[in-house]
Structure 1
Amino acid sequence: MAVPKQARASSNSAVKNGKEIVEQIRSMESQIAESKTNLNNLAPLLQFCQHDNPKVIHAAIHALFRVFSPMVSEGELRVSKKATEGDSKAAVAMWLRENYKKFTKRLCELLDSTEPGLQIPALKILLDLVKLESADLSRQEYNFANALYLKTVESLLYSTNMSEPLMQEFSQKFVGFYDDLRFYFLKNAAFVINVALGQHPTKNQKAIGKVSQEKLAVLLDNSFGILESLNSMPTDAKELDEFWAGSPDTGASKKSNSGEMSQFSDSEDEDMEEAGAASNKSTGKGPLLSLHSHRRAFSDCWIAVLKLPFTQTMYKKTLLIIHKRIIPHLPRPVVLMDFLTDSYNSGGAISLLALKGLFVLITEHNLDYPDFFQKLYLLFDHNLMHAKYRARFFSQVDIFLSSPLLPATLVAAFIKRMARLSLSSPPASIVITVPFIYNLLKRHPTCMQLIHGSANQTNDCYDHSERDPMKCNAFNSSLWELQTLQNHFAPNVATLAKIFNEQFTKPSYNLEDFLDHTYSSMFRNELTKKRRGEAAVALEAPTGW
């Protein structure tokens, strides 16, 4: 259908007006650059940042950045503490600072825009301003302009329109590359989350209180999304060599000018101002060049994130990466003990995924968990045989039961429980449990009596309902279930189960060869299997037609 002439005319007019405004913005910018007498142009430029046309906003924020950049670099926003009330130069600086705050506030608002084409430029400008402010603050001693960076991080974490391009831009090109941006992001994210939970000891804590559940959910999604993509945590102090705001001064300390950093702070946000000032006063060259400080910031940030109300999906995502991406970078990994034990005790898929992280704490960090094997034993149920993560689970259990020092009674309980469950499991699960049982018998020869027991046994003494593996009486039972599996309808299962009729001279199975089997893969294998000769038929094909 053709577009009405009136609509086309309106659209063309909007485009024309947009171009005219962009030209007007450039003209105002040029006038300011030519003479300081044209500083009043800042007011309309700030208004254009609120325009409906994204192209106008884009032009306005870049123009203002080019206007304010030299002012920040040359210290024109700085007000001397000795300035008198009638000092015109100080009055101009104060006015410029107020406009600068409005500009940075608008940039932070644009991080919640629905237009990635505005989000990313706003982020880049904010970070460029952080660099310029840091350079101005570091004229005497290294300082990081964390007051502005804290507001940037807070705006990102609360953004309800966190687009994938914005997430990738911030996490990979900035936080994932520059050590100072990563360090202060971790500290600021922890601060923002703790304030949201009402757990930060600030003057206005009672007034702040806890934010809504909806905002906490946004906070969790955004903070986890950035942390999940953070794969550049240093493992050695020598790796701390990339800094966005310049390398920390390693020379002798001079008098700090951090007392004037409030020139860039927003006085109506007292808590954020205090946090930014505290960071600049206490985080000079030392923390940024200290591996322990980076690990501590990483730990504090993750602990704060784990306090947020987790969903089942977020639990699973965290547990999938906790043993490789989180625990190795914590100065005290045992701080995750409560989170992992609660996850392990929750049951279902969460317990399966918590297993690896908990085992790392037990074996590498001396965590005492006396009921570990009892909980592990109870995880073997009918739901496990249908679980999405069963392959991951079995590969981990294989490690847990690998020690030859485990009691034979305990190992026998696991063998018997797997054998019993295999009677009602899908073929794809049985082809995992049968090789697993074979490997356990090879590894623990004392349990061979489960196969070569007395032939006069008429009743199975194993108590499947007993929750304690040491009391289920599995060691005095027999693996009659494996004999039953030799008549299974699936030929792969029946053939595999017959291995127990032979001498135990075959090497242990590589479980990796069996973990990825499904109904579909087994069916495809049967279809593509090469047959020896013709298939047997019940009736001969008719002839003579």
Structure 2
Amino acid sequence: MLPMASDDSSKKKKLKLKQKQKQKQREKQKKSLSDLKTLGEQLLTSRAYINNLPILLTFITPNSSQSPQYALESLLSLQSFFTPLLPQLPSSSTHSTNPDPEFIYRTWLRSKFDDFIHRLLDVALSSQSEDALREVVLDSIMEFVKVGNAGKFHSAIYHKLLHGIVHSALGVDDILLNLLATKYFNYIDVCYFTYISLEKQARNLEREEDKNGSQNPEDKIQSKSSMELSVHKMHNLLSRIPPLEASEEKLDREMWNGLGILVEKSSKKERIANSQESNDKVLSSRSMAKKMKLKFTKAWISFLGLPLPLDVYKEVLVTFHQAVIPFLSNPIMLCDFLTRSYDVGGVVSVMALSSLYVLMTQHRLEYPNFYDKLYALLEPSIFMAKHRAKFFQLLDSCLKSSLLPAYLAAAFCKKLSRLALFVPPSGALVIVALVHNLLQRHPSINCLVHREGGTDTTRETFEDKKGSLENAEDCDASRHVSDEKPGIDHFNAEESDPKDTNALRSSLWEIDTLRHHYCAPVSRFVWSLENDLAVRSRAAEIAVKDFSAGSYGTVFNNEIRRRVKQVPLAFYKATPTYLFSESDFPGWTFKLKDEGSAKRQRT
């Protein structure tokens, strides 16, 4: 029994010691809160109170049990103390055996300043700190970034800040990222060094990804999740930076540091010979714009080399043609990334189409399999995709060239017509507009127009269309179709290569079926298409953008806004007992059950 008693007594002693320590901390806090201001004032007045510096540093901590007033009071005193001394302090990497007491004193101050910056970063990057305190800490860090390097932009401190943000556990929508973007990304020098820092971090993350290949499965999962979070935050920072000006002469954005961006440093001998004078040169507006474009390009190219999560991948591709490509120093550098994205298929290919189209039309990118991949994207699911409006407009633009081969134009025309049988009414309207434009731009495929034989008008129109064909082989293909048995369609909808689809041996019978579509706007639109084809002169093209963003809602709203002059009415002398009449289905009979069985069922 004695050992049990000793154990209880030891536990009681430990509890008493903890309680005493907590009481001491509370008494210290009560005394420190009233004395912190005095300690700061003493530190600012005389060197005799330099020992107050380490005491004030201890209060700058992200500890949630401590009131933020202590950290705030210490921060104000230390910032006022270090700001005028920074130009006199040696660099952090200086190692000298100089016995001068003044030099030793300044080296010690530099170490305390580095400790001060480290503590500020801990507070700013901690989720335990209050948001108001983190905002004040961020402003203090940026003030040291502004003048910390002998009056120049202190890129090392700023790099530590961005490195901590990217590699910390902070979320993508954390207040610190929003504050940094909204308050400081309007300054061009801050954006300049942001590009430099993010480029370095992207390269480091790429090396870490290569090293993680030999890890355990559990470690791989953790490293992958942390990598994805870092990539999300890097994309958030890159996308929040305001776009560059298109003109180099209009680069008039403000500088966070008054000296601007300094480059072309002098050699070591010159700096040693004349340590007081700097031979750095400030960039002019024109050269600064070129430098910004170069750093912008390097940052984005390094970022795109990372394993991007799918949601980030899609966000990048959506705005790539507007927010990135126009501001790159050499957009052709993106050809590998965009061609790989275009080869993925599905929604990713649709999103990559805009940027790839810009490179092909504006920067002379050659992509031989472009139309084959574009043909493969024509699936029923594309008519329900989120970015279908932009896709249909680009599809119409890609098929606008008069140099397009006849077999390719016919394959697209036939594939779209076949899709009209499966898509909703809004998709059918887009298809009719696209087919109309294809037939107007490429007279060589007018042999695909479906006509019912037996009327003089249709025969005459058919002969007129055949006379306008430019390719003799296409005419032969159309004659071959007319001589074959009716009801046979040689088009292979499952073929992925447009050359082997036999589209020129087919006809647009699918468009003809749309004349009897259950949706009135679709049937009216098809009738207008036939009227345009009947006119010998070339009709105007249809603006696809007017139909590309359509849906059931838009079709319904447009229909109820129409002013209808004649309304079909149904009048019955007697209440009908069946839905369809026998004349609608010749050879079929619709009879009710005999009355006797019906009566028995009712009883």
Q: Give the TM-score taking structure 2 as reference length.
A: 0.74
**Is 1:438 matched up with 2:471?**
no
CA distance in structure 2 between the partners assigned to 1:253 and 1:239 by the alignment: 26
Could you tell me which residue of structure 2 aligns to residue 292 of structure 1? 290
Q: Residue deviations 1:380-438, cap 9 Å, x none?
A: 01221222211110011111111112112211111110000111111121111111111
Could you tell me which residue of structure 1 aligns to residue 38 of structure 2? 27
Two-structure CA RMSD over aligned residues (Å): 3.5
Could you tell me which residue of structure 2 aligns to residue 71 of structure 1? 85
Q: Structure 1 residues 259 and 125, CA, compared in 2 at 3 Å: closer, same or farther?
A: farther
Aligned residues: 495
Q: Residue deviations 1:499-538, cap 9 Å, x none?
A: 2332435532222211221112223344454443555135
Q: Structure 1 residues 258 and 314, CA, compared in 2 at 3 Å: closer, same or farther?
A: farther
> Contact between 2:205 and 2:306, CA under 8 Å: does it hold in 1?
no
CA distance in structure 1 between the partners assigned to 2:373 and 2:366 by the alignment: 14
CA distance in structure 1 between the partners assigned to 2:116 and 2:165 by the alignment: 17
**Is 1:91 matched up with 2:104?**
yes
1:186 aligned residue (195, 202, 205): 195
CA distance in structure 2 between the partners assigned to 1:82 and 1:359 by the alignment: 56
CA distance in structure 2 between the partners assigned to 1:471 and 1:247 by the alignment: 66
By how many angstroms is 1:235 displaced?
3.4
2:168 aligned residue (151, 154, 159): 159
**Is 1:133 matched up with 2:148?**
yes
Could you tell me which residue of structure 2 aligns to residue 9 of structure 1? none
Greater RCO structure (CA 8 Å; 6+ sep): 1
- 1:463-474 equivalences under 5 Å are 463-474=492-503
Structure 1: stretches of 5+ with no match in the other structure: 1-13, 139-143, 261-280
Greater CA deviation, 17-26 or 64-73? 17-26
CA distance in structure 2 between the partners assigned to 1:470 and 1:410 by the alignment: 7
1:171 aligned residue (181, 184, 190): 181
- 1:199-238 equivalences under 5 Å are 212-238=223-249
CA distance in structure 2 between the partners assigned to 1:247 and 1:303 by the alignment: 29
Could you tell me which residue of structure 1 aligns to residue 122 of structure 2? 109
By how many angstroms is 1:71 displaced?
1.5
CA distance in structure 2 between the partners assigned to 1:539 and 1:104 by the alignment: 90
SS of 1:134's equivalent? coil
> Percent identical across equivalent pairs?
28
CA distance in structure 2 between the partners assigned to 1:160 and 1:282 by the alignment: 41
> Contact between 1:77 and 1:96, CA under 8 Å: does it hold in 2?
no
Q: Structure 1 residues 200 and 353, CA, compared in 2 at 3 Å: closer, same or farther?
A: closer
2:547 aligned residue (492, 514, 522): 514
SS of 1:57's equivalent? helix
CA distance in structure 2 between the partners assigned to 1:83 and 1:369 by the alignment: 60
SS of 2:338's equivalent? helix
CA distance in structure 1 between the partners assigned to 2:60 and 2:423 by the alignment: 63
By how many angstroms is 1:160 displaced?
2.7
- 1:7-406 equivalences under 5 Å are 21-50=32-61, 51-52=63-64, 53-73=67-87, 75-76=88-89, 84-114=97-127, 115-136=130-151, 144-162=153-171, 163=173, 165-175=175-185, 177-198=186-207, 212-241=223-252, 242-248=254-260, 285=282, 289-406=287-404
By how many angstroms is 1:239 displaced?
4.0
Q: Structure 1 residues 96 and 488, CA, compared in 2 at 3 Å: closer, same or farther?
A: same
Output the amino acid matched with 1:24: D
Greater CA deviation, 224-233 or 78-87? 78-87
Q: Which structure has the larger Rg over C-alpha atoms? A: 2
CA distance in structure 1 between the partners assigned to 2:574 and 2:30 by the alignment: 83
Greater CA deviation, 79-88 or 406-415? 79-88
- 1:495-510 equivalences under 5 Å are 495-504=524-533, 505=535, 506-510=539-543
Q: Residue deviations 1:339-381, cap 9 Å, x none?
A: 1111100011000010111122222222221111111111101
Q: Structure 1 residues 249 and 405, CA, compared in 2 at 3 Å: closer, same or farther?
A: closer
Q: Residue deviations 1:177-225, cap 9 Å, x none?
A: 2222111111111111211222799xxxx9xx99922221122111111
Q: Structure 1 residues 16 and 387, CA, compared in 2 at 3 Å: closer, same or farther?
A: farther
CA distance in structure 1 between the partners assigned to 2:149 and 2:513 by the alignment: 74
Structure 2: stretches of 5+ with no match in the other structure: 1-24, 273-277, 450-461, 463-477, 576-603
Q: Give the TM-score taking structure 1 as reference length.
A: 0.82
SS of 1:198's equivalent? helix
CA distance in structure 1 between the partners assigned to 2:179 and 2:247 by the alignment: 25
Q: Structure 1 residues 502 and 113, CA, compared in 2 at 3 Å: closer, same or farther?
A: same
> Contact between 1:194 and 1:200, CA under 8 Å: does it hold in 2?
no
Q: Structure 1 residues 475 and 222, CA, compared in 2 at 3 Å: closer, same or farther?
A: same
By how many angstroms is 1:46 displaced?
1.4
SS of 1:188's equivalent? helix
SS of 1:370's equivalent? coil
By how many angstroms is 1:129 displaced?
0.4
